[in-house]
Amino acid sequence: MAATEAQGLVAGQREDAAGVHGGVGSLDHEDSEDCILEPLSLPESPGGSTALAGPPSVPCIFCEEHFPVAEQDKLLKHMIIEHKIVIADVKLVADFQRYILYWKKRFTEQPITDFCSVIRINSTAPFEQDNYFLLCDVLPEDRVLREELQKQKLKEILDQQQHERNDTSFRGTCMFCTEEFHGNRSVLLNHMAREHAFNIGLPDNIVNCAEFLHTLQKKLDNLQCLYCEKTFRDKNTLKDHMRKKQHRRINPKNRDYDRFYVINYLELGKSWEEVQLEDDRELLDLPEDDWSDWQEYPVCAVCLFCEKQEETIDQLYVHMKDTHGFDLLRIKSELGLNFYQQVKLVNFIRRQVHQCRCYSCHAKFRSKTKLRAHMEEAKHASLLPDRKTWDQLEYYFPTYENDALLCTLSDSESDLTAQERDENVPVISEDTSKLRALKRSSVLNQLLLQECLEN
């Protein structure tokens, strides 16, 4: 985001105080010297893990004001007006309460300028200039925090979903015929879909089902149509409307329902509609069983250390080996890396280079050019740190969303060098003429014993 655009964002938010949901691009900001490169440990509260008393609330980052979780916009308004801090892309924060608690603690340890970019608005009025602080995922620590919160939220949702799938103590009443159901939630949902043509999705795709049904029942009690969300004067008129208009379904545009579907928790910042479009949009215009217009498109993968792009992955491997002394195929073979370990290694190197840090000696540089010069001169590109440094869960998340190199990684033998493929490894069979003696002396016994000791 340009400086003037950022100023406009803050000015507009200061006027309507409706919260911050805008995107953030390049801003003047220097990474903190203590950028975190491992999974975060998130405190439950600024002073420790003490549980919050009473209804769930979120504190202000800088003062003792608290706001209910449901009134998130009021807290954002308070922080903009009173403390001049703006949080970008709030909708992409999986757990807003933990996010605020984390930064409240961090801001007591270091000054805000170590983390936030500064936005100056009203720059043409010298006596009315205001400095605002922008907290966004341009800061590596903030990005890793958001990713860690997303992983934790997904785990909690999957655990809850599994619990509901196995739960047999569910009790609920049909919203259309008041028949009561006991046992598993699927009994009620299947009844409403079969008998009343009201289908909210497969039971296994839904989470927090009891809260979901309560939300829908509350709308009906308020004489509101579940699809068009119009309000009617009495229950009979509402029933006739939903039956004649075939409105016995929920409004897919109502984002309040997103939290009840597991698909909305799978990928950071993407809703179910975006995930479905990604699956289908490439198939919309293709005739069935017609592959005559199939075309191979170049990979255009980018080097790990510079901006060089190559049309094939083999050319990119050669470039990184010859120019930077980094042989990914050799490293993969020597370390025995599978596909997922290669993904984590690539994302680790991408992040280190993005932060202008040498992953071998941990030296920090002011530009990527100086970093490359150092790594080539010291031959540090091929000196990887210990496996435990980069083989972390956080590096499953790509540093760059459009990193084509990740799509070309493989754990098959097809990408071995020609020399390695042509090597003939002799295999000598054991003499099976004396089977009983063979069972006692076979080398397989030693291998099995070693495997048992390792396990």
Q: What pLDDT sits at residue 313?
A: 83
Binned at pLDDT 50, 70 and 90, residue 3 comes out as very low
Residue 334 burial by CB count (10 A; 0-12/13-18/19+): exposed, middle or buried? Answer: exposed
Q: Are strands 130-135 and 117-121 parallel, antiparallel or unpaired?
A: antiparallel
Binned at pLDDT 50, 70 and 90, residue 178 comes out as confident
- Mean pLDDT of all residues in 312-334: 89
Structure tokens at 245: 């208009």
First CA to last CA distance, the chain: 53
| Percent of the residues in the chain that have a pLDDT greater than 90, as a whole number | 19
Place of tokens 């992955």: 313
Residue 111: count of CB within 10 angstroms of its CB: 8
352 or 267, higher pLDDT: 352
Residue 300: count of CB within 10 angstroms of its CB: 13
- pLDDT tens digits, residue range 253-306? 888 888 888 888 877 666 656 655 555 544 445 445 454 554 544 556 888 998
Does pLDDT of 16 surpass 60? no
DSSP type of residue 58: E
Determine the Cα–Cα distance for residues 361 and 281; give it in Å rounded to an integer.
Answer: 45
| Percent of the residues in the chain that have a pLDDT greater than 70, as a whole number | 69
Phi, psi for 295 (deg, rounded to 5)? -130, 140
User: Rounded to two decimals, what is the model's pTM?
Assistant: 0.45
Does pLDDT of 38 surpass 60? no
Q: What pLDDT sits at residue 278?
A: 58
DSSP type of residue 137: T
Type of residue found at 68: P
Determine the Cα–Cα distance for residues 90 and 276; give it in Å rounded to an integer.
Answer: 23
Place of tokens 């805000």: 112
Q: What pLDDT sits at residue 309?
A: 82
Q: What pLDDT sits at residue 420?
A: 45
Binned at pLDDT 50, 70 and 90, residue 232 comes out as very high
Q: What pLDDT sits at residue 266?
A: 79
- pLDDT tens digits, residue range 63-79? 989 999 888 899 999 99
The residue count for the chain = 455
Do residues 59 and 100 lie in contact, with contact meaning Cβ atoms separated by under 8 Å? Answer: yes
Do residues 194 and 176 lie in contact, with contact meaning Cβ atoms separated by under 8 Å? Answer: no
Three-class secondary structure of residue 309 per DSSP: strand
Report the mean per-residue pLDDT for the chain: 76
Does pLDDT of 224 surpass 50? yes
DSSP type of residue 5: H
